[in-house]
Amino acid sequence: MSPFPTDMIPNILCRLPVKTLLRFKCVSKPWGSLIDDTHFVKSHLHQSLKTNNNVKLFLDNGAEIDDNAYAVDFDSLNNLVQFPRPFTAEITKYRSRIIGSYNGLLAVYHREEGIALWNPSTRKCHYLPALDEDISMDHDTIPGYNYDNSTILGFGYDNVTEDYKVVKMLRSKTQNCFKVTIYSQKSNTWRRIKDCPYDIPINYNDGAYINNAIHWVGDEILSGRNVIFGLHLNTEEYFEVPEGKRSSEDKKCGAYYCEGFSYMNVGVLGGCLCVSRDFSSCPIEDHVNIWVMEEYGVKESWTELLYLSRNQWVTNIFHTRAVGYARDGNKVLLDDGGGQQPAWFNLEDESSHLLCIPGAPQLVSTIIYVESLVSVS
C-alpha cells in the first residue's frame, strides 16, 4: 500500500470541528504546528463559512445570575454545551453581555470589569487594557442599567489591516458629545479618534458590523433627525446609511396615515444590514416593521421583511432585533436582548413559536457565531 499523501492532511483537517482539532494537536508536533499555523486557521475558517458548517447559537442568560454560557448547533438546536464566562456574575454586581461576534471571536462587556475578546471554541480569552483616566473620568455614567445611552459599543474587523477592533463611545460630562476610542487587537491599545457627530438618546443594542463598518441608530445633533449611521473601521470616518421609503404601500395596520416611526435596532441578517422601525404612535395598533437592505448602500434595495403587532407577537416587540434565518430561509429568529424568550417568526404564514432549548436558560439574548481557531490576541 502506498503511503498516505501528507499534502492532503491540511485539506482534510480543515473540515473538522474545533474540538476535534484541539485533540489532534496532541497527535504529533507537526500536527500541532500545522493546526496553530495562521494559514491553516484561515483555511479552516474559510471552509466553515463557505459550507455554513460549525455555526453555533450562543445563549446569553439575560435574567439570572449565571457564570456559565451556553451554545447549541444553530441548524438543529441540539448538542447543548456550557462553558465558564470571562467575567463572573454576582448578585450585587452587573452581568456581562456579548456586544458582537465575528470569525468566531466574541467581544464581552462588563460595566465594572471592562471588555474581553473571547473564543468560546478554544476557551481562550484576552482582557483588554483599561482606558486612559482622562477619558474614563469624564464619562457621564448612568448606574443600574444593562444598556444605557451613555456607553455605546461595537465590535468588528478591519479587513484592510486584518485587525479586530472594539469601539467605545462615552458620553462626556463636560461636553455635549460622545468621546470615541477604538481598540486594536494588533497593537493591544486604545486610541482616541474624532468625536461622534450623532447623539444616541435611546440605546437598546450594540453596534452591527457589516462591510468594514459598525452601525448604530441615532439622531443628528442639530436637527434631531433619526438616522442610521456607521463608523468605517479603516478610515475612521462617520457616514449616514441611505434611508428607504418612509412607509409601505401595503399598510398591514390599515391606517390611512402611518409614517411616523423611529429606528430602534440595527443588525445584520443573512449578510445584509437590517433595522427595526417602531410605530408606537400608529392610530390603529402599535407595531414594528423589520426592513432589510438587500444591497449595501443602495437606497432602493431596502425591503420590508416582516410586520409585528403588539397584540399578535409573543414577546416584547419594541426591543425586537433579528438574529438569523433558519437554514431553509422560511423563519427568522427574533429576540429582545434578553428580557424575554426569543421566538421564531414564520415568513410564509406569519405564525410564531418560542425558542426552547432543554437544559438552557429560557430568557436569553442570542447571537450567532462560527466555531474557529482564531486567536484572541
What does residue 68 show for φ and ψ, rounded to 5 degrees? -100, 155
What is the C-alpha to C-alpha distance for residues 291 and 279, in angstroms, rounded to an integer? 13
- Residue 46 is predicted with a pLDDT of 96
pTM of the model: 0.91
The one-letter amino acid at 246: R
- Owner of C-alpha cell 476610542: 181
What is the C-alpha to C-alpha distance for residues 354 and 331, in angstroms, rounded to an integer? 12
What is the C-alpha to C-alpha distance for residues 181 and 138, in angstroms, rounded to an integer? 13
Nearest Cα residue to 166 out of 179, 175, 154, 151:
154
CB 361 within 8 A of CB 59: yes
What is the C-alpha to C-alpha distance for residues 236 and 88, in angstroms, rounded to an integer? 33
How many other CB atoms sit within 10 Å of the CB of residue 236?
15
Residue extents of the structural domains in the chain: 54-370
Among the CATH numbers 2.120.10.30, 3.90.1150.10, 3.40.50.2000, 3.10.180.10, which is that of 54-370? Answer: 2.120.10.30
- Residue 1 is predicted with a pLDDT of 46
- Residue 312 is predicted with a pLDDT of 72
3-state secondary structure of 42: helix
CA-CA-CA-CA torsion sign (304, 49, 242, 172): positive
What is the C-alpha to C-alpha distance for residues 280 and 333, in angstroms, rounded to an integer? 22
- Residue 63 is predicted with a pLDDT of 62
CA-CA-CA-CA torsion sign (202, 208, 210, 212): positive
Q: From the first residue on, what is the mean pLDDT of each consecutive set of 10 residues in the chain (377 residues)?
A: 68 92 89 92 95 93 76 95 83 73 96 92 95 64 59 96 96 82 96 93 86 94 89 97 71 57 83 86 73 96 88 72 92 81 90 90 91 96
What is the C-alpha to C-alpha distance for residues 111 and 93, in angstroms, rounded to an integer? 9
- Residue 285 is predicted with a pLDDT of 72
Using only C-alpha atoms, what is the Rg of the chain?
21
Nearest Cα residue to 68 out of 59, 77, 76, 79:
59
CB 81 within 8 A of CB 70: yes
